[in-house]
Amino acid sequence: MTEQERASLPSLLDQVVMLETIQGEHLVVQILFVFDEGETPDLFGIEVVAGAKGGWLRKSDAGHSVLLDDIVRVMPVMTSPGESHQ
């Protein structure tokens, strides 16, 4: 990910983003916290899926920890499913 994307991560707390990892995964997560210190800086979030009536639903109560070095790109998801882009 770019330095700008990395620097913006703390401003995305509680928001839904799509993470692209070096393994080729695309994870849609709600960011809970970002730990950008020490030997293994990482992001912790809850994976979410589109709800049938709009909004986001947690895929499970278990969270994901992703090393920041494993993230290729961060793409904010601007609206929840079912919302208009107008």
Q: Please state, rounded to an integer, the average pLDDT across all residues of the chain.
A: 87
Q: Rounded to two decimals, what is the model's pTM?
A: 0.82
Confirm whether 11 is domain-assigned. Answer: yes
Q: Check: CB of residue 16 under 8 Å from CB of residue 50.
A: no
Q: What is the DSSP string of 40-74?
A: S-EEEEEEEEE-TTSSEEES-S--EEEEGGGEEEE
Region 39-56: mean pLDDT is 90
Confirm whether 83 is domain-assigned. Answer: no
Confirm whether 86 is domain-assigned. Answer: no
E strand or H helix that includes residue 4: helix 3-8
Confirm whether 85 is domain-assigned. Answer: no
Residue-range definition of the domain harbouring residue 31: 3-76
Kindly report, residue by residue over 51-71, the tens digit of the pLDDT: 888 889 999 888 989 999 999
CATH number at residue 35: 2.30.30.100
What is the number of structural domains in the chain?
A: 1
| Residue 19: Cβ within 10 Å count | 22
